[in-house]
Amino acid sequence: MTATRKERDRAAAAFFAAHAPASALDADKPAPLVRMKEARRAAGLSQAAAGQLIGKTQSHFAKIERGEVALSAADALTLCKALALDLDTLLSVTS
């Protein structure tokens, strides 16, 4: 049985949604930043809540996620613990 165009389109959309970065805007970001954002969202934390964990404002945390401000090693460790994310996994350059 041949799939209809609508079925093929749905299958393609599902595939790309499952394999795409958190958003189209994340496509050109380094993998660690994308993983951090995905882990934060999976944990149900807002940027403001994640920022509070490391003593930063929501605005500052948003800049970290965009790669505009560096994340200190101490803050990365704190976030990894809060997000149940292994530091090696976070910092890996491959996705």
User: pLDDT tens for residues 37-93?
Assistant: 999 999 999 999 999 999 999 999 999 999 899 989 999 999 999 888 888 888 886
The domains found in the chain, sorted by start residue, are: 34-95 (1.10.260.40)
Return the pLDDT at 61.
95
13 Cβ contact partners less than 8 Å away, ≥ 6 residues apart: none
Average pLDDT over residues 30-41: 89
Residue 29 backbone dihedrals phi, psi, to 5 degrees: -85, 150
User: pLDDT tens for residues 5-19?
Assistant: 676 666 655 544 444
Q: Would the pTM of this model clear 0.85, i.e. be above it?
A: no
Return the pLDDT at 21.
47
Instruction: Report H helices in the chain.
Output: 5-19, 31-42, 47-53, 58-66, 73-83, 87-91
